[in-house]
Amino acid sequence: MSKEKPAADGVETIAPEDRNVPTEAAPTAAAEAGTIDISFSPGLTSFLASNNIALGFTSYQTGRLYLIGHGPEGKLALHEAVYPQAMGLTGNADRIYLGTLTQIVRMENVLGLGQRANHVHDKVYVPRNLQTTGNIDIHELGIQDNGRILFVNTRYNCLCEPSLTHSFKPVWKPDFISELVGEDRCHLNGLAMVDGKPKYVSAVSRSDVVNGWREDRDEGGLIVDVESQAIVADGLSMPHSPRVHDGRLWLLNSGTGELGWIAPDSPQFVPLAFFPGFLRGLAFHGDHAFVTLSKPRKGHFEGLALDGLLKAKDSEAWCGVQIVSKADGALRHWLRFEGAITELFDICVLPGVRNPITLGPNSVEIRDFLTIEPAGL
């Protein structure tokens, strides 16, 4: 189990050797890059426990799916599994979907009500289906009202469903994209679902040429209404993770490091809070917003307004998770990575989950972890 140790500045840390890490068949990017230090706010564990939630988030840079919950004796429990280029993530107490470098992974919780693994874990998410798409740069995922997965295919600038026979099945593209071709033209990246249907997407620009979005990162970003093709907001800086919550269209204006919403009577972005990092990954639960932060990547995330804002606030960029009040943007809790991990991607809240674990598809444990569905004989 993971353990916590007090740090000199009063925050809590998890020692690398104490993390709950499955054995993998080959060295991972993080292991090759060096050590990882993890610190977190003193009240994070009790916050998760009082809200009866766990969190999942991804790091595509090091190929990790992380699950954090609250373990015995009030300890923060952190579990990680290796998935190449782990990105889009959505899930609940029963099932998790994950987009990776070449696949969409469906994980099922195999524990019944009241069952525990190793006496402490209330959920064990096991990969039961790995749908191969090839390298199409899968970003965010959504679950439709018919149960089918919808995902952002960034390389082909469209929304897709998995196909039984092919790499993917396109179902929607922006009007400004003239053809389906494997060129990341507008950097379509985020997806907002409403009542099981796609409602909004985010893109870095409306470019229709290969990599054209890279020339318009500062203020070319936009939010598109999927049904009408209308541009509901533009002039944004690398927007990401649109979400409809409590009647508002929320999003991350990543180029400025801000969480905010789109005003209902105009296409204006209204910032709620600034975060010291490049933002991708947004979830809500109760009165709080959960955001993932990354350190700016040389050549891609540098040169944005975020750089000047960090300098003005005399702040270093973070890699981690911050939890803020939805009412006023005040920081409530946080978890921070230092060392080999510098970028995170998506995040999801797992309601009703206390201390989850998952088995990576290449882990030693999954070879002999067998469960049998009742046959009704």
Tell me the β-bridge partners of 339: 36
User: Is the confidence at residue 125, as pLDDT, over 60?
Assistant: yes
Which pLDDT value is given to residue 34? 64
Tell me the β-bridge partners of 273: 259
Burial of 37: CB neighbours in 10 Å, binned 0-12, 13-18, 19+: middle
User: 333-376 pLDDT, tens per residue?
Assistant: 999 999 989 999 999 999 999 999 999 998 888 999 898 888 87
Burial of 245: CB neighbours in 10 Å, binned 0-12, 13-18, 19+: middle
> How big is the CA angle at 120 (ends 119 and 123), to the nearest 5 degrees?
110
User: Burial code of 162-195, b = ≥16 C-beta within 10 A, e = fewer?
Assistant: beeeebbeeeebbebbeeeeebbbbbbbbbbbee
In Å, how far from its chain's centre is CA 370? 29
| DSSP letter assigned to residue 120 | T
How many separate domains does the chain show? 1
Rounded CA-CA distance 186/212 in Å is 7
Rounded CA-CA distance 205/212 in Å is 8
Amino acid letter for position 292: T
Structure tokens at 200: 């909004």
Average per-residue pLDDT for the chain: 89
Full domain range(s) for residue 241: 5-314+322-331+338-367
Rounded CA-CA distance 68/342 in Å is 18
pTM: 0.90
Q: Which stretch of 94-98, 163-167, 224-228, 368-372 has the lowest confidence by average pLDDT?
A: 368-372
In Å, how far from its chain's centre is CA 81? 15
User: Is the confidence at residue 170, as pLDDT, over 50?
Assistant: yes
Nearest to 131, CA basis, from 172, 101, 90: 101
User: Is the confidence at residue 18, as pLDDT, over 80?
Assistant: no
In a domain, 373, yes or no: no
User: 266-324 pLDDT, tens per residue?
Assistant: 789 999 999 999 999 999 999 999 999 999 876 555 678 899 999 999 999 999 999 99
Instruction: Sort strands 347-351 and 53-59 into parallel, antiparallel or unpaired.
Output: antiparallel
In a domain, 181, yes or no: yes
Rounded CA-CA distance 346/58 in Å is 6
In a domain, 375, yes or no: no
In a domain, 277, yes or no: yes
Q: Residue 146 — pLDDT band, cuts 50, 70, 90?
A: very high
In a domain, 79, yes or no: yes
| Contacting residues for 263 by C-beta, under 8 A, at least 6 apart | 269, 270
Q: Residue 6 — pLDDT band, cuts 50, 70, 90?
A: very low
Amino acid letter for position 220: G
CATH number of the structural domain spanning residue 158: 2.120.10.30
Instruction: Sort strands 356-358 and 123-132 into parallel, antiparallel or unpaired.
Output: parallel
Structure tokens at 349: 């809240």
Which pLDDT value is given to residue 298? 64
In a domain, 77, yes or no: yes
Which pLDDT value is given to residue 72? 84
In a domain, 221, yes or no: yes
Which pLDDT value is given to residue 373? 87
User: 236-263 pLDDT, tens per residue?
Assistant: 999 999 999 999 999 999 999 999 999 8
In a domain, 377, yes or no: no
User: Burial code of 80-114, b = ≥16 C-beta within 10 A, e = fewer?
Assistant: bbbbbbbbbbbbebeebbbbbbbbbbbbebbbeee
